[in-house]
Amino acid sequence: MADDSWRLPSIVQELAATAKEPPSRYLIPEQERLGGQQLVGAEMPEPVPGIDLRRLLASDGAEEEAAKLRSALHNWGFFLVTNHGIETSLIDAVISASREFFRQPIKQKQEYSNLIGGKTWQLQGYGNDPVKTQDQVLDWSDRLHLRVEPEDERDLALWPRHPESFRDLLHDYTLNCKRVKDGILRAMAKLLELDDDCLLNQFGEKGSTYARFNYYPACPRPDLVLGIRPHSDVFVLTLLLMDKDVGGLQVLRDETWYSVPPVRDYALLVNVGVSLEIMTNGIFRGPVHRAVTNSEKERMSLAMFYSADLEKEIEPIAELLDEKQPARYKKIKFKDFVSAHYEHFSKRERVIESLKI
């Protein structure tokens, strides 16, 4: 019988507590090593673009914020959103509950494992991303991935019971983020001269929202190991709550990796996903990004991913096409797009390149 143990990577938090050196499966390929400097990001050439959501959605000041939003989408594909209306006390409580979950003994966290029967990978639950091949380079991170919308389809068996506040906090945070996401997508639709709800309607009948809690333990070789490999988000939009004390996110532009500094004022980082890139026919582009590790400090983040209905076919929006701007991407059912994404993700490739016409 074939030995498939390579498909079941270790919990990284355990490795970090015991290993003096990362196992070879976590080391980036030798041909990508450039004197130990290949994972050191450059300083951002300008501050991360910031958008005041209250002004963007108000009757006064909206034009100025819309111009800033257009510039951010054109130059970077991501931006910080401030004045989003989510109480700082709720954000602090969510982060505190997240840390408390990851600090539990491994046995308690494994009650929410993303391995069915200890072998078969599923998207939801606690653990790691799927391993497709034996030579796949693994990421130095653990995660808890939960479907939070539609509310009536939550798998609460995978939602932690400790700390006791976790479920209620995640529910409240989900509702708040939905309001922020809706406002941002309506503003984006206006930039494209589409109906206000056009982008929201692209999700289909059963669009989903996923919460992904990322945990990056300290790593003894941050010069050779990535927290998450380079990729673009497969979904429509991402709202990222970053660690306010420890950096690690890097974004690629013009073949240079730039380090995104930690955010201390409770702003959310909004990231265009490649599904939205297809829908807008490449007008808005999903940035390639990665996470690096830290030799001394752990890091956490919480990403809210907004996904189209798995049965929905995604394609460029008809109103954005004409003879001068024909469709640049093929139509594809979203569930097939997600499957292709994980195949490309394991190879450190960008799935959207395979859909270009």
Q: Which domains does the chain have, with CATH numbers?
A: 5-354 (2.60.120.330)
Q: Do residues 44 and 258 make contact, with C-beta atoms less than 8 angstroms apart?
A: yes
176, 85 in Cβ contact below 8 A? Answer: yes
**338 with 324: CB under 8 angstroms?**
no
Query: Which tens digit of pLDDT belongs to each residue from 47-83?
Result: 999 999 999 999 777 899 999 999 999 999 999 999 9
Q: At what angle do helices 88-102 and 166-191 cross, to 10 degrees?
A: 120
Predicted confidence band of residue 114 (pLDDT cuts 50, 70, 90)? very high
Q: What is the Cα 81 distance to its own chain's centre?
A: 16
Residues 217 and 320: beta-carbon distance below 8 Å: no
Cβ–Cβ contacts within 10 Å for residue 256, how many?
Answer: 11
Averaged pLDDT of the chain: 93
Residue 284 confidence (pLDDT) above 90:
yes
pTM here is 0.94
